[in-house]
Chains A and B, each alone.
Chain A
Amino acid sequence: MNEKIKKNSFLTNQIQVSLKINAKNRSLTLDSRTSLLDALREHLELNGTKKGCDHGQCGACTVIMNGKRQLSCLTLAATCEGANVLTIEGLAKKDKMHPMQGAFVKHDGFQCGYCTPGQICSAVALLQEAKDGDASYVTADVRNISKELKLSEEEIRERLSGNICRCGAYNNIVQAFKEVHSADDEMPTWKFATKMQMKSAKRK
């Protein structure tokens, strides 16, 4: 490698990658060892995707790549040439949240927020997996599986088990997913302050 480049850019094994991230074309010069996660966080200022373990074991770094859930910490950026990556920052349309984000608010699907971007990306991609009829570990009969799966609670819990939430918000994450997946109006066990109550408080 050219000695001058090495000194100036602090890069050994320099590579070039072009990919689409949140609908924008990005071109990056990276150390060849750089993971997609580090490329997002350290080179693109997309800090929403989190590093929980860097070993592919916690799910915090989940992004959606070419429509599928992907652990960005186990994905070398070098392998992402031409890929289409969607991160938590790309889910909301301006101020309008993705329905899954809205459901996480309604069902209080998180506490500290650190695993949340991964949980949401995972849940959003899972909606598509169910539509596509992808099987899981707990699918009863993998030879007879239809498209447009209606996932049972057991299926949802299994399919979201790759994302650890140490705050233990699983109840509410599952409820949020159910709401978007089944389009049912799942009710939390608590009652929110009503609009009237909020309004009357505001009038004071």
Chain B
Amino acid sequence: MGEFIGKSVKRREDARFLKGMGKYTDDIKLPKMTHSAFVRSPYAHAKIENVDISEAEKADGVVAIFTGKDACGEYGVPCGWQVDFKNGETMREPKHPLLAKDKIRHLGEAVTIVIAETLEQARDAAELVEVDYEELPAVTDPKKAMEEGAPLVHDDWDSNAAFDWCIGNDRAEVEAALEKAHHVTEMEYRNQRLAPNAMEPRSYIADYDVNGDKYTLYTSTQNPHLIRLLMCAFVLGLPEHKVRIVSKDVGGGFGSKIYHYTEEALLTWAAKEIGRPVKWTSDRSEAFLTDAHGRDHVVKSRMGFDKDGKIVAHLTDEYCGMGAYLSTFAPAVPTYLHGTLFQGVYTTPLIHLNVIAPFTHTVPVDAYRGAGRPEATYLLERIISKGAQEMGMDAAEIRYKNFIPPFDGVEEAGYQTQVALQYDSGNYEAALKKGLERLGYDDFRKEQSEARKNGRLLGVGISTYIEGCGIAPSAVVGALGARAGLYEVGQVRVQPTGKVSVFTGAHSHGQGHETVFAQFVADKLGIDMADVEIEHGDTDQVAFGMGTYGSRSLAVGGSAIIKSIDKILEKGAKIAAHKLEAAEDDLEYASGKWTVKGTDKSVSFGDVALTAYVPHNYPEGLEPGLDFSSFYDPSNFTYPFGTHIAVVEVDADTGAVELQRFIAVDDVGNIMNPMIVEGQIHGGVAQGVGQALLEEVAYDEAGQMITGSYMDYAMPRADDLPMIETENTVTPCPHNPLGVKGAGEAGAIGSTPAVVNAVVDALAHLGVTDIQMPLKPQTVWKAMQN
């Protein structure tokens, strides 16, 4: 390892963010820019009878008003992943219009865009648009959407199912094993719907330059190149080389900014229509109504154990809501990002999962931090703890009994699961052992039983998770229905003076790529970090990219950069050999210079760079320049894992849960910057604890959202969390050059069941075996009374 790798280097983004100098999309103002506001449906399901814009058009400052009848509504935004029915029927894929024309399918669906000189004028005029609706009955619950007679979201098909899919062993075989099991634990619950709630609302500015016939879209996206591809090829039919997407500082994403949203395409189209730039920034109410949500699984599961507590079979049926349309990656979330994790860290020999994915009259659901993996982990970690509770076993003991034994993926082979994937490397016992030691597990159990005598309700919850990250080998995901490759691009341009510009297709929206990527680039080249600049988020600068999600940036994006560095050093060695009048084989590269082995003859990186651009005395036949671009397509996913432990106290009178300690032992492979990894874990844990205790998007029967603001949707705040205690074990990834696994989602995946297990543990002596999330005081109190 070099000088910077593995060190907590302070973030380079600090200065601009701390002084209020960040450039987020809404901070950008273009000359002659107009502003826009949407008229959105107040109903979840309705026929649009008439849209009257005549009064609105007369309002002050109005530049243009467009409705679904204008050409913009003709195409729709596409879905990027196809998951077919298990019987072979093709996935049902409805058109997702930019503006609704005849039918409303979810609350907040856009009907009209009003463009005006100022935002106030756009909003004032939007108030004057008259829309006549005929309200229709709605269905918002994924299970109810599949009941006989449920209102249909799309009339094109006779049921609401987008697909009905399964994975794992033969169902009959799994059922037979459950019949014979010593003990069967059952669970039925809802993994509730969540709103991602990046603090920066979605924001877009579209600009059309008539001279170059060129479009520029400034957008708060995690995924600039994919947005360009989808918008050009599928939505607007624009030539891709005439469209530039700029996405520099983005204020958090958590998944919700991966997808191609209707507003992005609509604004791009409208900018040409009106011949001026147009901006739209979502307000928070619109964000709740229109940002893709997460989770929303209705689950029924049975896990069978033998008399020693070994798992013998696991069978699960789920209804996973898609919302009204298929968002970009939506079908992948409850299937290939979810079912493939049902092995967990256990040797379960028989697994079967069936997923029915219904449309509902709600905003589309897609990947939210963890995406399918938190839902899988929640189920596994809750049901194994519930099994232990029912069989009178200890929650740690049952896990030790069922763990897959350690394997490094180099000497020992990877672990082949029953659900398609092969784990790369893992040591699950070590993480649990470390977590229990940090807690002082045995002492805690003593303290707990003492506390119970005094009427105090203490509980501990364990979660031993695994996740699949570093998304993903293109051929594998292609076979699974992805309509895009999931490689990454990394270009390293050495400037004539030896300064290095790196262009990455990964996208930073809080992860600190500017720092971490510069660390390993400086290390590999043996130069100063200050001489390395990381560029991202501009399709005119970066050749291509697949964006940031699925904890993939370092594992996939970092590896692409490493490939380019290898090419730089290979070519550099040729130039150095020429300059040193030595054979290439006699050179070694270290500390920023090529040296003839065993001598003090050397030439520096900077000298070689200058020679590459001023090639007067130069190797014959070699091209000038020192600039390489590489595509890296991983050979497997990466599999971070770990143990999360929560300690809670439940107020016996009110049911309020106090999270007293949270211990996170995470194995994310090699660590480039411990400070940043720790921050990622903290953040994930905050979001996972939020799901366990606080957060829920609730719709009423009519499809009205009753949690549409921060007064109703409880976000985790500083006083909801203790100091999170972090530890690591390190099991390097055997198949990427940095040996990294990814850290972005681990916190959100491991933490939720740890907290719920802790609350159930605190109440176990009262006969409580399960509580529905979020664990609000009234929910916990009610569970205590039964």
Contact = CB atoms under 8 A, between A and B. Distances in A.
Interface of A: 6, 10, 12, 31, 33, 41-42, 46-55, 57-58, 60, 87-89, 91-92, 97, 101, 104-106, 108, 110-117, 120, 153-154, 156-158, 160-174, 188-193, 197-198, 200-202, 204
Contacts of B252: 111-112, 114, 166-167
Given A89-B19, A110-B17, A50 B200 contact: yes
A202 to B, nearest CB: 5
B521 to A, nearest CB: 12
A152 to B, nearest CB: 12
Interface residues of B, number: 81
Contacts of B571: none
User: Sorted from nearest, which 4 A-B pairs have the closest CB atoms?
Assistant: A48-B20, A168-B686, A114-B251, A113-B17
B252 to A, nearest CB: 4
A34 B495 CA distance: 48
A111 B683 contact: yes
Contacts of B720: 161
A111 B717 contact: no
B142 to A, nearest CB: 26
Nearest to B684: A168
Chain A contact residues: helix, strand, loop or mixed: loop
A156 B199 CA distance: 22
Given A89-B20, A172-B682, A192 B199 contact: no
A204 B21 contact: no
Contacts of B68: none
Contact of A165 (B10, B21, B199, B527): B199
A158 B79 CA distance: 43
Nearest to A104: B18
A170 B211 CA distance: 49
Contacts, number: 222
Given A167-B252, A168-B683, A190-B674, A54 B284 contact: yes
B724 interface: yes
A108 B16 CA distance: 14
Contacts of A112: 198-200, 250-252, 509-510
B778 interface: no
B660 to A, nearest CB: 12
Contact of A58 (B199, B250, B718): B199
Interface stretch (B116-124, B444-452, B540-548): B116-124
B318 interface: no
A192 B675 CA distance: 8
B687 interface: yes
Nearest to A177: B718
B13 interface: yes
B284 A55 contact: yes
A186 to B, nearest CB: 11
A167 B683 contact: yes
Given A50-B251, A112-B509, A113-B510, A169 B682 contact: yes
Contacts of B511: 111
Nearest to A31: B120
B281 to A, nearest CB: 8
Nearest to B28: A47
Interface of B: 2-4, 7-11, 13-14, 16-22, 24, 26-27, 60-61, 117-121, 196-201, 249-252, 254, 281, 283-285, 509-512, 522, 526-530, 591-593, 674-676, 678-680, 682-687, 709-711, 715-721, 723-724, 726, 747
Given A110-B17, A167-B252, A171-B721, 13 more contacts: A10-B60, A10-B121, A46-B20, A55-B710, A58-B715, A92-B19, A110-B18, A112-B250, A163-B718, A166-B715, A168-B684, A169-B683, A171-B724
Contacts of B117: 10
Nearest to A113: B17
Given A47-B27, A108-B679, A171-B723, A164 B199 contact: yes
Contacts of B530: 202
Contacts of A91: 19
Contacts of A106: 10
B434 to A, nearest CB: 15
B679 A33 contact: no
A164 B683 CA distance: 12
12 contacts: A48-B22, A50-B24, A88-B18, A108-B678, A110-B18, A112-B200, A113-B18, A113-B249, A192-B7, A192-B10, A201-B4, A204-B593
Contact of B527 (A163, A200, A204): A204
Nearest to B3: A201
B528 A201 contact: yes
A41 B196 CA distance: 25
A105 B4 contact: no
Nearest to A155: B719
Contacts of A172: 679, 682
Contact of B199 (A6, A89, A115, A162): A115
B18 A114 contact: no
Nearest to B200: A114
A51 B287 CA distance: 13
A190 B675 contact: yes
B718 A197 contact: no
Contact of B685 (A52, A154, A165, A168): A168
Given A105-B18, A158-B719, A166-B252, A191 B8 contact: yes
A202 B528 contact: yes
B249 A201 contact: no
A200 B251 CA distance: 35
